[in-house]
Amino acid sequence: MTTTSTHRAAGNRRPADPLTRSLAVDAVVSAGTGVLLAAGSGLLDEVLGIPPGWLLGLGLFMVVYGIDVGLVAARPAWHRIAPAIVVGNSAWVTASIVLVLGGWFDLTALGVAFVLAQAAIVAAFAVMQARAVGR
């Protein structure tokens, strides 16, 4: 008598599809950045020129966002939500640029670089996810 297993060996896993991969990386980067911003909000305000309350709030938002995107990545049935994530990422990029150009905060040079760098990373996620959704 033989038994068969429906589980794949770790080395035999199919690679994740592009949408799952981009969502998963987005989730990890967003949550990780959020933890750093929230935990370091009291130290980063002078370095970046963003008030600590804003850094804390943004950090906590990013942690929750990262968890939510991770849940979508982990459940292919939820991938239909991905276009909303693309819109959210695009809105984040727009808001980041408006933040830099609007002069709402007295951003340091490092603060400007940080905001624009994270906007570029989020834009890359939005493009990857939009392409994957369109497949």
What is the DSSP secondary-structure string of the chain? -----SSPPGGGPPPPPHHHHHHHHHHHHHHHHHHHHHHTHHHHHHHH---HHHHHHHHHHHHHHHHHHHHHHH-GGGGGGHHHHHHHHHHHHHHHHHHHHHT-S---HHHHHHHHHHHHHHHHHHHHHHHHHT-
User: Is the pLDDT confidence value at 5 over 50?
Assistant: no
**Across residues 85-110, what is the average pLDDT?**
96
User: Is the pLDDT confidence value at 38 over 80?
Assistant: yes
pTM for the full predicted model: 0.84
pLDDT at 70: 98
Q: Return the domain boundaries, the chain.
A: 17-133
